Amino acid sequence: MALGARLPVVKKADLHAGDRVIVTTRNSTYMLYVLEDGSFWAAGGWFDRNGPSPQRVQVNGCTFGGRAIKTDIVAAPGLFLEFDNRVTTTRIREAKVLRGDERPVCH
């Protein structure tokens, strides 16, 4: 069974420069702004508590809580978001994409 068949996901391939992804986890809310090179400006949650915020990061992908990682996914409810600075979020509750032209798309 494919992950996408059960969970609504935000895939890296579906994002474009200027899009924003709002990720609500069990403990925090993160705002990810997509940059031209596929990296992100990340603010909220750990970044606001530990500075600097925003911080330029890569999204490694999402996990179910173990070592296996889905590298093509930025966010999916029920999974954990992992950044390249070794920060892993608490379980994702919701992810919303705001397109660069301001049209909200909910996942």
The tens digit of pLDDT for each residue in 50-101 reads: 988 999 999 999 999 887 889 999 999 999 999 999 999 999 999 999 998 7
- Determine the average pLDDT of the residues in 2-20: 80
Reference 47, options 38, 56, 58; nearest CA is: 56
The pLDDT of residue 49 is 96
β-partners of residue 73 are 11
2: tokens are 């494919």
| Three-state secondary-structure class, residue 29 | strand
pLDDT cut 70: percent of the chain above it: 88
pTM: 0.85
